[in-house]
Every structure is written in structure tokens, then in C-alpha cells.
Amino acid sequence: MHSRIQGVEILELGEKGKEKSSPWSSTILLLKLTSSDGVVGYGEAPTTLMTLPVKESLREVERVFKGADFYNIEDNIRSFYRNSFYLSKSMEATSALSAFEIASWDLIGKSLGAPVHDLIGGVMRDTVRAYANGWYSNCQDPEEFVGSAKKAVSKGLTALKFDPFGPCFDSIDREGLTRARNIVSAMRSELGDKVDLLIECHGRFSKRAAISVGRSLQDLDIFFIEEPLHPELEHLLPEFKREVKIPVALGERVLSKTEFAKLISKGYVDVIQPDITNFRGILEGQKVASIADAFGIPVAYHNAFGPIQTAATLNLDVGIPNFLIQESFEEFWPDWKRNLLKSGYSLSHGSFSLSGKPGIGVEVNEAVLEEYAIDGMEPFDPSEPPWVVSGTYNSPGSSGTGSDAGKTDNKGRGMK
């Protein structure tokens, strides 16, 4: 008879007084499950201006999973699906469910003495190519972007994702287009063709603005352009793709394999970016990779939160046939987040490697869990949305086109 989930701990971590609004540098939510025979498994849930709602959702999922056989992942997920009426539309619910799913896999792997990747198909590659994100904090002009990019490349990274659009939101004027073009052009000129450039739009544009942006950049050899349209306007992606010859990537806000199947089968997307902490975990991540593979679509999992998420995602990356590239903030995390794991994976010369240890492969530093425990919402800065890299939303001399002008001190706001 299998062991069962006996203990459930929901942990919020952050650095008191130094938090920033961007979730990749601020709070994270961890889930610690303990089995009835003493095995510990970890999962993670995202926080982007929804820390407390996700924490409450974790407590709702607990009511289904606590006492359950953690091997029965499909059945446990179906049980929550049956009871969670709005699951298909609630990122809070799917995020909480994802944390339990990932932690269950960690328990299974540790109980069997096997890495998760060996339990879901094995390994096709020993290393996983990474692209950097978070490297361009406080960059405003082309020279600053290029300077920070060269520092990232010096660490061995060969692909960089960035948002060059400053305060433009929904619409973009000629000044905004020129500024973005100058930044990307400088990056291409200074870095040459050995570094791939990935453009992040953060789902901020109307159709007309997105097409203008795409047209202005498409001669600069862009690896992909991410979320060029507002998520509500994804049905207009065929029109965007007719006008812009840059591969379209999206997926971090898609909550199920069913929704991905619609986007893929309709030809809306060229690269999918599922986030396994957003949309039900590792099994769903593998299923949607298989759907994409049937249509010749590569996978680049979204990965913007913490090291438990990275470790879990890497267990998929090493084994799926249609892997493309993996997002990484690791080199640009605050120290406490870098020190959260004693072991689990490494990032060297632009590539990840897994530890090969059982479960998702991590050993958690319990001292960090104690020292950086916090409680409360992540900080809020009305002048800069939490989805941007800090210090990039308001451009020098900008009137705040499409944004709230002005900056405020957001250190520690909302935390206790």
C-alpha cells in the first residue's frame, strides 16, 4: 500500500524591506508536502500580484490532496477539477493545483529513488540551452541595454529576452517605435549573429500597435516575439502573422492543454511557452508538449519564479523531443533566492544540467526557509507594473505614454 500525504506546509518567502514588484526578484510561494512515511516533496506556485489569493487556493487544494495517495496524480487532479467550478478560468486555482502536482511528483521520485524525468520517459539530452531574462534592470537607452547584455553574454549565455517598449501600453507612437527599434538594432549590431534576441511584448498591444512593432523589428533576425497582442485578442494572431514574419511565442497565461490545443491547431502560435506552475503541473506540461509535437511546434517553457519551478521544468526539458530553449532568471536573482537550494541543478556556459537526484532533484536549504519567511502581498508600485523588469517602464523624458507617469518608492510595501 502506498504512503499518503500527511503534512502540508505553505511557505511564502521574500527579503523584508528589499522586495521589488517583479515576482522573479521578489516573493515566491513554496509548498512542502510530507508523506506518512516521512518523505518530503516540494512544489511552487507563482505570485504575480496574487500572492494571497494563491495562498488561499493552496488551502483549498489541500482539502482534496491531504490524506490522498500521492501516486494517484491524475485521480487527485480530477477530484479537484470536479469540485473547483471555476478551475478552467482561474489562474489562482490552477497555480495552487500545480504546486501540489509538482510536489507529488517529488514525493513519488524520492519514494522510488528515481529522478522524475526517468519516470516520464527518460532523457534525450544532458544539457538544456538557456536564455537570459531579468538581465536589463534599469536599462533605458540602447547603450545601457548593450552594456548589460555584454555582461550577460560574458557569463556564457547565448540568447537574451528583453522588453524594449518602455511605458508604451496598448498603443505605441512613432517615438516609441523608434526607441524600441534603436535598442534592438544596437543589440544586434553590437552582439552580432552569435546571440539570439527574443522580444518580450508582455501581451501589452492592440492589433495595430503589435503589427507596427513587428514590422519595425522583423529585419533584425528575431528568434521569436512573445505575446505581441493582449491575451483577449489572441483570435487576431492570424492577422498579425500575415503582416509580421517573426515567430510568435505565447503560453504563460494559458491554463490547460485544451486551450493550447486550440491555439496550436488553428495555427496561432509558432512556439509554445507553458508554465508548469500555472497550468496544472508536470503531467500537463508533458501532454501539451506532445500535442505541440504532433503539429511540429517547439516548446520553450515559461519559467519566471523560483528554483523549485526551474528544477521541475528541467525534468521535462531533458526528455521532450520538441524542446527549443529554456527561460532563466538565475544569474540575476537576489542572493536569498540563489541560496534556496543546496543542490538540484546548475547553470554554466549558458546551459542547465540536472543533479540526477531522486524526485525533481533538489535539496532545499532549510535555513533560508526560516530566515526569509514573510507574510503578505508582494509590493505594489503604481508607476511600474509587476510584470516588467524593474526600472524599465518609464523612459527618460517620457510623458508616460500609455502609463502612469512618475515613480514611487516601493520597498517593502505590503510586507510584514
Instruction: Answer for the pair 62, 33: CB distance below 8 angstroms, yes or no.
Output: no
Amino acid making up residue 232: E
The three three-digit cell numbers of residue 96, written as one number:
495552487
Instruction: Answer for the pair 282, 102: CB distance below 8 angstroms, yes or no.
Output: yes
Is residue 202 annotated as part of the catalytic site, yes or no? Answer: yes
CA–CA gap between residue 130 and residue 352 (Å, rounded): 7
SS3 (DSSP) at 41: strand
Going by C-alpha positions, the residue among 373, 375, 371, 361 that lies closest to residue 41 is 361
Q: Which of 202, 230, 235, 349 is catalytic?
A: 202
Is residue 349 annotated as part of the catalytic site, yes or no? Answer: no
Kindly give, in sequence order, each residue whose CB lies less than 8 Å from that of residue 120, ignoring residues fewer than 6 positions away: 282, 283, 286, 315, 316, 319
Q: Residue 323 forms beta bridges with which residues?
A: 299
SS3 (DSSP) at 287: helix
| Residue 229 falls in which region: left (phi positive, over 0), alpha (psi -120 to 50) or beta | beta
Q: Are strands 28-35 and 5-13 parallel, antiparallel or unpaired?
A: antiparallel
> DSSP per residue over 199-259, as a string?
EE-TT-B-HHHHHHHHHHHTTS-EEEEE--B-GGGGGGHHHHHHH--S-EEE-TT--SHHH
CA–CA gap between residue 218 and residue 221 (Å, rounded): 7
CA–CA gap between residue 187 and residue 283 (Å, rounded): 37
Going by C-alpha positions, the residue among 287, 312, 311, 285 that lies closest to residue 300 is 285
Residue carrying C-alpha cell 531579468: 134
Task: Tell me which residues are annotated as active site.
Answer: 202, 302
